[in-house]
Amino acid sequence: MRDFIPIAKPLIGSEEIKAVGEVLASGMLTQGENVKKFEEAFSAYLNVTNSVAVSNGTVALDLALKALNLKSGDEIISPAFSFIATANSILYQGLKPVFVDVDPRTFNINSEDLKEKITSRTKAVVGVHLYGQPLELRDVKEICEDHHLVLVEDCAQAHGAEYNGKKVGSYGIGCFSFYPTKNMTTGEGGMITTDDNSLADSLRLLRNHGDTGKYNHVTLGYNYRLTNLQGAIGLIQLKRLDHFNDKRISNAELLNKKIKIKGIAKPFKMDEVKHVYNQYVVKVEDEFLASRETLMDYLHSKGIGTAIHYPKPIYRQPLYQQIRADWRICPAAEEVSRKVMSLPVHPSLRREDIEYISKIINSFGA
């Protein structure tokens, strides 16, 4: 019997286990030396001035927006198609989300629609590099500059991804997640990256109760700290990240080559990017001989994990429907949420796993 092939699997090795053991033995468990070293290594990897470690990717986005000191009711743009945390970060701060449509090929922000949604009240864009492919940064960055908007990059799925040879998270304010399904993990964890030193100072204050030291609290902050245990894991995972990404890319290339069945649209990659395939996402087109759900059931019955990232545009989630029922429809987000299906692409897959996945898909209906 074959083992079930899960949709995601973190790779934790003996180095991480040893490092955690050392931290436990040291007794220095909370934010400390390992977190500092992890931040420095992350900045060097991205070629940015500051990295601020926090407890997860959601609070990374939350703090990035909070540190901008915006007014209640200011408008912030989010893609309509992403994980819900992208847009929730806007709600946490009492700001107003405005959804833009995505490009149905890349699943990322559609620059033309972005231009249309900007008003005099727009203050920032939260752009997502969905599934590991950088968004069209040349256009989006230019639009942000022309309209004096802050670009917050949601890099939760794109550690090590590049646009024109420069890493994501170094174009705007970068927000990363280290959840176990991501390209690198610390269990839970997050990072905010920026070249703006005064913004980084505010972020450091906000993550630790606004404390300038010795219980002197100058602003309303939080406990959003990362632990030293997580810092130790992060340092090692970061060293392994390029290798993990190379493996994801070669797995994706093999899937591209081997999957050959009418009605399954394979991922589109832009020329100017390094796509790091946090997810390998196909579209089950209307011409496919069965529904997406029937195909998923079949794959599960053959021991292959799949997922739908994500089944509806964010504005269709009950939470957002409670806020208002008349959101403007984003047609491409509607279409892709009906068609997308993620297949396993993680670095622990063997060549024979990829060949098996492709063979099973190709044999569907035969």
Ligand X SMILES: Cc1ncc(COP(=O)(O)O)c(C=O)c1O
Q: What is the contact surface with ligand X in residues (CB under 6 A)?
A: 56-58, 82-83, 85-86, 128, 154, 156-157, 177, 179, 190
CB of 328 to ligand X, least distance (A): 22
Residue with the CB atom nearest ligand X in the bound state: 57
CB of 99 to ligand X, least distance (A): 15
CB of 57 to ligand X, least distance (A): 3
> Is 347:247 a contact under the CB 8 Å cutoff?
yes
CB of 61 to ligand X, least distance (A): 6
Rg over alpha carbons for the chain, rounded to the nearest Å, is 21
Q: Which is nearer to ligand X, 57 or 97 (CB)?
A: 57
Specify the residue for token string 């559609």: 110
Q: Which is nearer to ligand X, 194 or 230 (CB)?
A: 230
Q: Which is nearer to ligand X, 129 or 353 (CB)?
A: 129
Q: Buried b vs exposed e over 88-99: b needs ≥16 C-beta within 10 Å?
A: bbbbebebbbbb
CB atoms inside a 10 Å sphere around CB 60? 32
> Is 107:51 a contact under the CB 8 Å cutoff?
no
Determine the 3-state secondary structure of 261 from DSSP: coil
Rounded Cα distance between 34 and 232, Å, is: 5
CB of 50 to ligand X, least distance (A): 19
Residue type, 257: K
Phi, psi of 29 (to 5 degrees): -90, -30
Q: Which is nearer to ligand X, 186 or 228 (CB)?
A: 186
Q: Which is nearer to ligand X, 61 or 361 (CB)?
A: 61
Q: Which is nearer to ligand X, 83 or 315 (CB)?
A: 83
Rounded Cα distance between 128 and 58, Å, is: 13
CB of 82 to ligand X, least distance (A): 5
